[in-house]
Structure 1
Amino acid sequence: MHDQSAANDSSEGSQTHGMEGSPADERSGPSRFSDSGTPGQPQEGGAKSTYNILVVEDDPTLATLETDTLTAQGYTVVTVHSGELAITTLHHAIPDLVVLDLELTGEIHGWDVLQALRSLASIPVLITSSSASHARLYMRERGETRLTLDHLPKPYPLQALLKRIQRMLPISPAH
């Protein structure tokens, strides 16, 4: 069972749910979230280890809802509220999947985070935004499939979020 309490790390606006250990040294490159000290725990059926998800969402209410929902399903979740914190987090550890709001406030937007992530790793990303056309165009231009990059238009029911994540996770290279 995962710890449901949030523990702030040294960066304001970042929450960790069910994850212990310190980030990897930046000089050695990003590690997997699962390498950070949390042993894998069986999911339903006991076949798979816990998946690690990074939620990048600047709306605190939605971020809490997504994080609580995913944690209740047995996922290890790290939540950040800005593009800057997302990129910093990705340089320390690579999750199995990223839920990414494209419409982040601040100087670094969701597209910047996606570009930084793709330079580090090829993992599934679920984009959340109210605009579908830019996401679909990006997917076509880059040759991404719905298994590596998908779009969930806001607003969405949390059940739709869970279904998309469950469909995307089996392709994660760590599992």
Structure 2
Amino acid sequence: MQDPNTEQEPSDSDTTSHLEVVEPLQEADGGRKSGYYILVVEDDPTLATLEADTLTTLGYTVVSVHSGEQAITSLHSVIPDLVVLDLELTGDIHGWNVLQALRSVAPIPVLITSSSVTSARQYMRERGETRLTLDHLPKPYPVQALLKRIQRMLPISPTCY
């Protein structure tokens, strides 16, 4: 098991940009189970698929994007109830830029994922963010930790912005 505070080298994963819409599971009556819309912003396709598939299985509506540019563009069509955001995105628009764009739109809860623990915690302290509006999950992390944080951060009712 790797120490979550240990810095990791970025992977040489395929960073080809594309928008992947993942459909939610349906209840017997055909409705969505949770009603929550989650935006996953992750440039590692394997991790993005794992996160999206896991959340979809639990009934969330998930859109997965692989760049900061796509994340910001997606905000023009719908405001998510929660964003899972990789701070260490490749490309011209990094995770911090996406976070600023999100904050200018609405007080959307954001779960930051990165191997850099210090910078995320410092940002939270400086901006007066609470763990209900901004939290950090150090990579690598177990899926259960991701789910626990998301459940804690989601608003009481979907799309309350």
Decide: shared fold, TM above 0.5. Answer: yes
Paired position in structure 1 for 2:22: 17
Q: Quick one: which of 120, 125, 139 aligns to 2:110?
A: 125
Show structure 2 runs of 5+ residues with no match.
1-16, 25-29
Q: Does the CA contact (< 8 Å) of 1:135 and 1:151 recur in 2?
A: yes
Look up the equivalent residue of 2:61 and give its one-letter code. T
Flag the structure with higher helix content: 1
Deviations 1:45-80 (A, max 9, x none): xxxxx1100000000000000000000010000000
Distance 2:37 2:129 in 1: 21
Q: Does 1:135 align with 2:120?
A: yes
Change (3 A) 1:62 1:42: closer
Deviations 1:64-117 (A, max 9, x none): 000000000100000000000000001221100000000000010000000001
Q: Quick one: which of 88, 91, 107 aligns to 1:103?
A: 88
Paired position in structure 2 for 1:146: 131
Matched position secondary structure for 1:92? coil
Q: Matches of residues 24-173 of structure 1 in structure 2 within 5 Å?
A: 41-43=32-34, 50-170=35-155
Distance 1:173 1:58 in 2: 26
Distance 1:42 1:92 in 2: 22
Q: Does the CA contact (< 8 Å) of 2:37 and 2:158 recur in 1?
A: no
Matched position secondary structure for 1:146? coil
* Deviation beyond 6 Å, 4+ runs, structure 1: none
Distance 1:172 1:115 in 2: 24
Show structure 1 runs of 5+ residues with no match.
1-11, 20-38, 44-49
Q: Does the CA contact (< 8 Å) of 1:16 and 1:79 recur in 2?
A: yes
Look up the equivalent residue of 1:82 and give its one-letter code. S
* 109-118 or 86-95, larger mean C-alpha shift: 86-95
Aligned-pair RMSD on alpha carbons? 1.7
How many Å apart are 1:40 and its aligned residue?
6.0
Report the TM-score, using the length of structure 1 for normalisation: 0.75
Larger RCO: Structure 1 or Structure 2 (Cα < 8 Å, ≥ 6 residues apart)?
A: 2
Report the TM-score, using the length of structure 2 for normalisation: 0.81
- Count how many residue pairs are aligned between Structure 1 and Structure 2: 139
